[in-house]
Structure 1
Amino acid sequence: MNKFKKLIVAAGLMLSISSFTLTNQTEAATTYTVKSGQTYWKISTGFGIPLNSLMSANNSKPLIAGQNITLPNSPISAADKDLMARLVRAEAVGEPYAGKVAVAVVILNRVKSDQFPNSVRGVIYQISNGYYAFTPVANGEINKPADAESKRAVNEAIALMGKGGGSLFFYNPDTSTNSWILSRPVTTRIGNHVFAR
């Protein structure tokens, strides 16, 4: 009788462990219920998920209000999104929204480039030739909270990952005194900023 009780307890324990494992596997996948009028683009920019990743995770199937879709994890952490948004606010205050998105895109492009550190934090706090890469880091402006528009611009830049002209730099031609930056190939001009490779 003792062996039978041990067998039942062991079987119960195994069943509990396997159901716990299955529960954790299903909780790992994030689902989202599509609302009326939403598109992949709206969802992507709302959550800061690359559009390509979102569409791929859902086999690019048409979206219907009320259906559940899979939200892949964002490649950028919440802390890094906040850091990017604070830099965008400081660098692009007074610039058009598209210029704010472009500043965030530069940060992401630098993370992907082998010419720069491979993390958002590393790119933003990079020191080269004794100077910070971004003025707001040196003057403390990066420590001020980000506004809603800068946060939205960061999410849109993340949604655009893998697209664009590959800008790695930006500058204001009216105030820049660096002849090297002026020699870089221009990708676009938005507001007071020139974006370059």
Structure 2
Amino acid sequence: MKKLATILTMSCICLFGSLQTHASTTHKVKTGETYYKIASTYGVSVHELMNSNGASSTLIYPGQSIKIPSTITSSEKDLVARLVEAEAKGESYAGKVAVATVILNRVDSSLFPNTITGVIYQNKQFTPVQNGKINESASADSKRAVSEALAYRGQGSGSLYFYNPDKTTNRWLRSKQVTVVIGNHVFAK
């Protein structure tokens, strides 16, 4: 089960590509920090962070300056977290990361809009948009799940869809290749 959670977490990070950005910043490495911890803090992928710094190894040193690449806006991150909260409330943390990853994967896919807002508000895609639950606040867990999904961007199985098999009869959706099952959700591509 722990291996499945790790695989799922890794699957949850392929979403944020062509997004609004902020200016790049620099981070001074503190004792005990890793590329993963820094990436999670700033909401970027480890891969992007290493590429921006020309790193071929994950080894970093206290006092080293790390360039932080541009990332999504805080309002986009909040929007994803609110969708995660509404779609995966009551699900495991891994399930929340997986839902966030689907959003990011859709942004990167040519099959969907290329912005967070476009993906989330695409007609008839997410029930919380239709019933207004998207407007409720996100929990700390959902916010953390989005940061983790961003940190592992590009390292997952490419899930573009998720559904609860007890709540959908959509044959088209059920015909998609299953990538992982977490809690009450089936993830597919």
Task: Verify: 1:103 aligned to 2:99, yes or no.
Answer: yes
Report the AA paired with residue 31 of structure 1: T
Look up the equivalent residue of 1:110 and give its one-letter code.
R
Using structure 1 for the length normalisation, give the TM-score.
0.80
Structure 1 residue aligned with 2:64, among 54, 64, 67?
A: 67
CA distance in 2, matches of 1:29, 1:190: 35
Q: CA deviation at 1:196?
A: 0.2
Residue 117 of structure 2 aligns to which amino acid in structure 1?
R
Structure 2: which 5+ runs fail to align?
1-22
Aligned length: 165
What is the TM-score when the length of structure 2 is the normalising length?
A: 0.83
Matched, 1:142 2:134: yes
Deviations 1:32-65 (A, max 9, x none): 1112211101111121111111111222262112
Q: 1:98 to 1:141 in 2, by over 3 A?
A: same
| 1:93-141 deviations in Å (ceiling 9; x for gaps) | 01111111110110111111111111110110111xxxx2100001111
Q: Distance in 1 between matches of 2:83 and 2:24?
A: 31
* CA–CA separation in structure 2 for the residues paired with 1:183 and 1:29: 42
1:114 and 1:29 map into 2 onto residues whose CA distance is: 26
> In the alignment, which residue of structure 1 is the partner of 2:112?
116
1:48-87 equivalence runs, <5 A: 48-60=43-55, 62-74=59-71, 76-87=72-83
Alignment of 1:156-171 (within 5 A): 156-171=148-163
Higher RCO (C-alpha 8 Å, min separation 6): 2
Amino acid at match of 1:30: T
Q: Identify the match of residue 172 of structure 2 among 170, 173, 180.
A: 180
Q: Which runs of 5+ in 1 are unaligned?
A: 1-27
**Alignment CA distance shift 1:51-1:176 (3 Å):** same
> What SS does the corresponding residue of 2:84 show, helix, strand or coil?
helix
Q: Distance in 1 between matches of 2:185 and 2:38?
A: 29
In 2, the alpha carbon distance for the partners of 1:66 and 1:36 equals 8
| Matched AA of 1:97 | Y
Q: Which amino acid aligns with 1:73?
A: S
Identity %: 58
Distance 1:58 1:119 in 2: 26
Give the aligned residue type for 1:55: M
Q: Give the distance between the partners of 2:121 and 2:145, measured in 1 at CA.
A: 20
Indicate the residue corresponding to 1:11 in structure 2: none
The CA distance in 1 between the partners of 2:110 and 2:129, in whole Å, is 22
Larger Rg: 1
The list of structure 1 runs, each at least 4 consecutive aligned residues, that deviate by more than 6 angstroms after superposition, is none
